[in-house]
């Protein structure tokens, strides 16, 4: 049985919590299998590496067929590496991506240089205090949660009790585990500082 059929019929009667669990699992797979490296953290695509997949992915059956037999630069993902169920979860994640991610987060992902390679240009783009959250949303939230509550990556809420801002910067510059290398691109030194400052400010929900 294909999952296309299963999703088509079974999904509506599945509980909301199940649907959210599928989306979370899909997001994790999307990161772990490296789809994000070419198609962007939110499936928004990049001119240089891969087309947009979200927020309106191609139909599930077409996505399953494509991933097994891709064109061009895209690597093949066999059923051993990625099951049809897993593709369905990734599809659910991509379909759940909000319509309008902040424009500046897209600009940052597709071209890190656009948000100020020079200290002088930073002020003209946005005030530092405003840049931290958008850099975080574009580059960190997919793994560490929208509010730093954690996900694929550990929770960052309250991290300032353990880490100095310079320690957080060091973790971004020299990531471990599956955390991707984001410096020196797409994040420059200024971006790393801003996002580290923002991360240090994350506090638990009131």
Closest contact distance (angstroms) between CB of 150 and ligand HEC is: 9
Minimum CB separation from ligand HEC for residue 107, in Å? 16
User: By C-beta, is 13 or 150 nearer to ligand HEC?
Assistant: 150
CA distance 194 to 71: 39
**In the complex, what is the shortest distance from the CB of residue 96 to ligand HEC, in angstroms, rounded to a whole number?**
14
Q: Provide the minimum distance between the beta carbon of 154 and ligand HEC in the complex, in angstroms, as a whole number.
A: 5
What's the token pair of residue 89? 């979860």
Q: Would you say 78 or 100 has its CB closer to ligand HEC?
A: 78
The CB-nearest residue to ligand HEC is 72
Nearer Cβ to ligand HEC, position 16 or 80?
A: 80
Sign of the Cα torsion 149, 155, 156, 157 reads positive
Q: Which residues of 147-162 are buried (b: 16+ CB within 10 A; e: fewer)?
A: ebeebbbeebbebbee
Two tokens at 44? 């928004």
- Chain position carrying tokens 């070419």: 38
Binding-site ranges for ligand HEC (CB under 6 A): 31, 33-35, 37-39, 49-51, 53, 58, 63, 66-67, 70-75, 77, 82, 90, 139-140, 142-144, 152-154, 156, 168, 171-172, 176-180, 182, 195, 199
- Minimum distance between the CB of residue 149 and ligand HEC, rounded to whole angstroms? 13
As beta bridge partners, residue 46 has 50
CA distances from 28 to 18, 35, 86, 120, 150 (A): 15, 10, 10, 37, 12
Pull the structure tokens for residue 97.
Answer: 């991506």
Q: Which is nearer to ligand HEC, 112 or 153 (CB)?
A: 153
Of 17 and 31, the one with the shorter C-beta distance to ligand HEC is 31
**Token pair in block for residue 200:** 């240090």
């Amino acid at each position: 049985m294909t999952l296309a059929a299963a999703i088509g019929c079974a999904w509506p009667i599945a509980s909301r919590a199940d649907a959210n669990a599928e989306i979370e699992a899909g997001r994790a797979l999307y990161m772990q299998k490296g789809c994000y490296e070419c198609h962007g953290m939110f499936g928004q695509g990049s001119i240089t590496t891969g087309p947009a997949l979200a927020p309106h992915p191609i139909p599930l059956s077409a996505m399953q067929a494509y991933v097994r037999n891709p064109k061009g630069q895209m690597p093949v993902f066999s059923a051993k590496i990625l099951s049809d169920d897993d593709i369905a979860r990734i599809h659910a994640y991509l379909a759940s991506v909000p319509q309008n991610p902040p424009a500046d987060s897209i600009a940052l992902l597709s071209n890190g240089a656009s948000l100020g390679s020079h200290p002088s240009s930073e002020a003209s783009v946005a005030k530092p205090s405003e840049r931290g959250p958008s850099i975080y949303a574009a580059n960190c939230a997919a793994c560490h949660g929208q509010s730093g509550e954690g996900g694929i990556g550990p929770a960052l809420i309250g991290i300032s009790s353990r880490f100095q801002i310079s320690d957080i910067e060091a973790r971004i510059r020299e990531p471990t585990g599956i955390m991707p290398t984001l410096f020196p691109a797409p994040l420059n030194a200024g971006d790393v500082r801003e996002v580290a400052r923002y991360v240090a400010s994350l506090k638990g929900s009131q």
